[in-house]
Amino acid sequence: MNIQTDVAPDYTAIKAKQNGAWASGDYAVVGTTLQIVGERLAERLDLVPGASVLDVAAGNGNATLAFARRFHEVTSTDYVQDLLDKGEARARAEATRVSFQIADAEALPFADESFDATVSTFGVMFAPNQQAAARELLRVIRKGGRIGMANWTPAGFVGQLFKTLGGHVAPPAGVKSPALWGDAAWLHETFEAADAVEIKLKTFNFRYRAPEHFIDVFRTLYGPVHKAFLALDDTGRAALEADMLALIDRFNVASDGSVKIPGEYAEVAIRK
């Protein structure tokens, strides 16, 4: 008799592949278009100038810059050095003082209660060990400190894009969708030890010249889409492109041939 048992995901191997995916293409070009989300989050947390802020999975620094512009003491972290380098170049261009450091969101190299706030915009949600990442966000902030996040929702455009990609290239076994970080029930359950979890649904508008322009940009520059196309043969790539075009058509509200897609995300504010 064969007895099947659940095998724990190999998070080290998964993160190594993720690192390669995010380092491929040039996410910074796509990431910079999302800057307004970081600005909104900084206003939402309403921290006192001088507060210590840790940006987790910071990418090329959207939230980092937003909080630094408000005179907070920001430490910007990611596990992709190239993205940190690009964030540092942006901070240097603005003469903004920020500390940059390589760090794994699931094992942050900081002592307990080191910061007034931890923040992440479309970053920590991609950590494969979701419970470990959530614990780390809470661990490194002081009592009364804040967590601020912007996470794509499952039903929104990007959540559905993840679902579309998963239909063509299977995700690692045992790893749950990153869009769970945009699910209210999951957030309340995961952060039940917090004093308060407040969630507001907001929209970021993806604006591109045409559906084909969106696909070209994401296929070339956005790591997960870039790697998905590379993993497929010609027939598979054509099928994925067709499904992405159908998804864009489903969400697109522009009527002039261009793309304006309202991308729903959860703006999350948590108090420890």
**Residue 226: inside a domain:** no
β partners of residue 259: 208
Question: What pLDDT sits at residue 75?
Answer: 98
Most confident of 14-23, 25-34, 258-267: 258-267
Question: What pLDDT sits at residue 175?
Answer: 86
- pLDDT per residue as tens digits for the range 209-244: 999 999 999 999 998 999 999 999 999 999 999 999
C-alpha closest to that of 262 among 159, 185, 177, 168: 159
Mean local confidence (pLDDT), 51-60: 97
Question: What pLDDT sits at residue 1?
Answer: 37
**Residue 25: inside a domain:** yes
Domain holding 67: CATH number? 3.40.50.150
Contact 268, 147 (CB under 8 A): yes
Question: What pLDDT sits at residue 18?
Answer: 73
The structure tokens listed for 241 are 């492109």
Mean local confidence (pLDDT), 193-217: 97
Phi, psi torsion values for 187, nearest 5 degrees: -65, -45
**Is the pLDDT confidence value at 24 over 70?**
no
**Residue 252: inside a domain:** no
**Residue 138: inside a domain:** yes
**Is the pLDDT confidence value at 68 over 50?**
yes
Mean local confidence (pLDDT), 234-257: 98
**Residue 247: inside a domain:** no
Contact 131, 191 (CB under 8 A): no
C-alpha closest to that of 207 among 259, 169, 256: 259
How many domains would you assign to the chain?
1
**Is the pLDDT confidence value at 25 over 80?**
no
Mean local confidence (pLDDT), 23-34: 84
**Residue 235: inside a domain:** no
Question: What pLDDT sits at residue 131?
Answer: 96
- pLDDT per residue as tens digits for the range 80-93: 999 999 999 999 99
Question: What pLDDT sits at residue 173?
Answer: 81
**Is the pLDDT confidence value at 257 over 60?**
yes
Could you tell me which residue, 136 or 20, shows the higher pLDDT?
136
Show the domain range for 84: 11-153+169-205+262-271
Question: What pLDDT sits at residue 8?
Answer: 75
**Residue 218: inside a domain:** no
**Residue 187: inside a domain:** yes
**Is the pLDDT confidence value at 5 over 50?**
no
